[in-house]
Structure 1
């Protein structure tokens, strides 16, 4: 049973809704549609023109090296129309070509004298250069998957070409369903061409799996088992049942009979490639061990240092991150204590009491498909409510074009509890809030609204629509600490707008979510720098945060496959709050909550080292105004 509920607010509907809200006493917001996307082709002269030419080279490279991007952001037309039939080359040679081009472009970027540029172009140069620097450092390691410049998967770098949450098998079917628009026979034909390219991607990754295995880079045994289980499950299912096939068959129905063609490609190309990937992993499986951390891989400590830098865009060390997690957790537990007391949970540790709260049947959804439908309805209600509160938090509003959809059952066993992101730049494709419904026990009624604010509105989907108003080059870049830090700050905004004022248990869920991210700082560094076992990580997490053990098992396995990724959330969130306190202190009575939030999102996705400059500029402008 597939659940798909589209919650859409197109521009016209947004205008009508906002008019009603404004009539209730809110000041008139500037419409995001009035903001013009900065163009690299704008008229510039002198040093700015030269810098813009280099930035344009970087943009063109990112689109052509990662063709999926053009579809995801809605620009697979005109000069980029051919990209609609292509996918990234995931072979050894393909990745080496990308790495060489990244190094060459970095040289060009670093050769630009930013002191001679206008402030706006200098900021763009700093942002783009920083991400090419991190990518170059990642490609210097002789293994792994560097995702820094890949719009769709930039948040996750991995030492493994294939894992339970990494690789074409996990990523491409959902990408084709969500981002490859089918509005003509040519679009449907391009989808079929991409299915063939998907098979080639699988083989390219298999080549890398074998080469990396020879270097001693092999999945831990528990991830190996999970990954093989997913791949075998697809191999053993009839292709006609695959979501990959049904997507083009259903959406392309108006243009021809595509099911048989898709089944043929799946049978002749994709399944043999899956079998070859399975065989390569099965050959390595006897050499897999239970070492969970990347420390066990060649040059693993240096690799983890790089992932910390790439994920947090700071210079923090593993020890500093670990201690930050412990300190933040203690502070959050202190905030949770009086609320727990007020709702009758007074005995035991905060973690133990949150576990007891999580076991309370009052906050559970029904089991099975009835519970899945209940969850989707709950999310829709939360989205409707938070939309109506947005004028209280922003002067500049966006449509928040959103589709809530279940993660494919094909891959949900290895997927996180949820994830989300903005739609296309041209506004034709919605942002997505993907929800894992493998078990309704993954979610409860005191934390699901908070998850919705994180992934959808005012989180990833909402923030992404502001990022699209940057130059195209900037729009193609995302920084984990900024994006995830914003999503946690979005949860904070919802709390500050009063969503939990009549539901204190919901506020506990929100605070537990922040504590969950503090725990990530401890557990991720524990696994990869302090050599914790998988079991130690699971136990520490459950005991200290009272989290759902099933959810924690999936989370810890995610950290094992994506070292450092989980650090960006709380590091970014804490940085945003430090900047807000700075703005309050410097502006005094001139500080405006909505204008500060506007400054955060309208500055676009940036490294934490640059965000401070964005807020300094906002403070100066407010003082001058």
Structure 2
């Protein structure tokens, strides 16, 4: 596992900046227009901390729970219906403040910041207005079911406390236990929401509940042994040289009230299972079409209809297969469709990892080597460089069955919590030597971890808010950058893995809309991947189930990538010989994580500035 150096002093810097100063990549901006004595920067910072009042875990993840905001380190989000309504009320109030702020005279950075926040808050408020679901605010998850196989604090809180809530002082340990005291209420808040949804007739598919019940039972068993929180705290206390008193309190909470609250959730899940059906799509649930329309808007930051997304996915898939066909022929795979030939390629023992722990070790070594290579290439692709603090971590085995093949993201804003590439190793058959390099570039450099480092240097509110088509579109564009830098020179089968990755995301557009707007079955979704793209059955089983619990989210990847590529083509067309690869990449990534229309305006400003 590699750990790359990064400026770890930013936590102290942030603590001294106070609530009215924002970090930017370009240094100190000109003081913008003020309204009522408040600058745009101060307003945005105030709005950021208003949001963190409702999601204090994000403050810890960003490393800004310091100084006057240190109290956030002891809190958890209120998951109850009343707590979620209070969150929506704050968003509504702050959106009104933003819209009332005068725009003339604003510099482009502050104008972009305001446009981004407006878009995120309106999308979130539209989600909160729906009668059920777990609404993201500047986040990628569109979840109609607040507790399911990959959604819920029974998954999120143990992971957060173990990987993000660091314990270096007695005050940190106090905050850890303070949070644990709130955990039963957190679980009961979710319980009230899923019970309310069941009362409306909104019950998850039976096959998702089957997975969730098994996972919940495993979580309860772990809680009964103090393995979710108490063991982690005890280890952290030992590392910090602190007394174990806090761990004893944690153990009593975990094996008592926390385990009891989890058992109440389990009882509700079993009640839901008794009335569940196998219909996979949200359209089979009350208000399902309305939910999906919002989920698509949130996931694409466009107003494309399900039919338009479906057709675009089919067209993109056809174009990518046309690029794959000659490579397959060149390496000797000539018979059958592209999907059939990729299926045959996946069975080639040359490209498989060993089974079991030996193969898991091979996979981790392979990832480390690819990170070293791509990190060294970044000066060829960007003028403005970052140096991510990065870890490669196995997804906890208890979560692997319901988790995707991998996921990743940047670390904290202050640099003390590393960016992470979480890899699913439940079976080494999930990965191949021709597709793991591409997956690594997607999740780490120049993908999620790399992009997140730039967003972490923007004003706080911009570090908080993220948009699915930009996050995932950029990660796919990062795959393209790696290819263009020579990642597969002398290894053409690796380029097949890259193109299949793009085709996989095009399939997502088709399958997600098929499941949620065209009445597809779960098996139809799986077979589309296997037959049309040659995807591995083991991979697509949990993949399709993920779409059932996150409607719309899977459509943003390829759509976002295509939008970024179209803007690059625009820049090349309009600038001619003045176009510069590194300058374009800087223009997109320095503009920060943004809705598609804001990203396009940022590229327009790059073009105009290059011409001037």
TM-score (norm: length of structure 2): 0.94
Q: Distance in 2 between matches of 1:369 and 1:343?
A: 31
Structure 1 spans left out of the alignment, 5+ residues = 13-32
* Mapped pair 1:308 → 2:296: yes
CA shift, 1:290, in A, is 0.8
Instruction: Report SS of the residue matched to 1:114.
Output: coil
CA shift, 1:269, in A, is 1.8
Q: Distance in 2 between matches of 1:199 and 1:426?
A: 30
**Paired position in structure 2 for 1:206:** 191
Deviation digits for residues 579-603 of structure 1 (CA, Å, limit 9, x no counterpart): 0000001111111111111111111
* Mapped pair 1:618 → 2:606: yes
Contact between 2:32 and 2:105, CA under 8 Å: does it hold in 1?
no
Instruction: Report SS of the residue matched to 1:10.
Output: coil
Deviation digits for residues 401-449 of structure 1 (CA, Å, limit 9, x no counterpart): 1011011112111111111110111111110101111111111111111
**Paired position in structure 2 for 1:28:** none
CA shift, 1:469, in A, is 1.9
Contact between 2:206 and 2:276, CA under 8 Å: does it hold in 1?
yes
* Mapped pair 1:139 → 2:128: yes
CA shift, 1:239, in A, is 4.1
Q: Which runs of structure 2 are paired with 1:275-354 in the superposition (5 Å)?
A: 275-354=263-342
Q: Which runs of structure 2 are paired with 1:61-72 in the superposition (5 Å)?
A: 61-72=50-61
- Closer, same or farther: CA 46–236 of 1 in aligned 2, 3 Å: closer
Name which of 243, 250, 264 aligns with 1:256.
243
Deviation digits for residues 440-499 of structure 1 (CA, Å, limit 9, x no counterpart): 111111111110100011110000001122111111111111010000000000000001
Name which of 81, 95, 106 aligns with 1:106.
95
Q: Distance in 1 between matches of 2:205 and 2:468?
A: 25
**Paired position in structure 2 for 1:360:** 348
CA shift, 1:44, in A, is 4.1
Q: Distance in 1 between matches of 2:237 and 2:445?
A: 31
What is the aligned residue count? 594
Deviation digits for residues 519-562 of structure 1 (CA, Å, limit 9, x no counterpart): 00000000011111111111111111111111101110000000
Q: Distance in 2 between matches of 1:441 and 1:195?
A: 37
**Paired position in structure 1 for 2:227:** 242
Q: Distance in 2 between matches of 1:553 and 1:521?
A: 16
Q: Distance in 1 between matches of 2:209 and 2:223?
A: 24
Q: Distance in 2 between matches of 1:56 and 1:134?
A: 20
CA shift, 1:303, in A, is 1.1
Name which of 225, 233, 249 aligns with 2:218.
233
* Mapped pair 1:592 → 2:580: yes
Contact between 1:7 and 1:380, CA under 8 Å: does it hold in 2?
no
**Paired position in structure 2 for 1:445:** 433
Contact between 2:296 and 2:552, CA under 8 Å: does it hold in 1?
yes
**Paired position in structure 2 for 1:543:** 531
* Mapped pair 1:383 → 2:371: yes
CA shift, 1:43, in A, is 4.3
Contact between 1:481 and 1:569, CA under 8 Å: does it hold in 2?
yes
Q: Distance in 1 between matches of 2:48 and 2:75?
A: 17
Deviation digits for residues 79-119 of structure 1 (CA, Å, limit 9, x no counterpart): 21011111101011111111122222222222234345333
CA shift, 1:245, in A, is 3.2
Instruction: Report SS of the residue matched to 1:434.
Output: strand
**Paired position in structure 1 for 2:463:** 475
TM-score (norm: length of structure 1): 0.92
CA shift, 1:38, in A, is 6.2
Structure 2 spans left out of the alignment, 5+ residues = 9-22
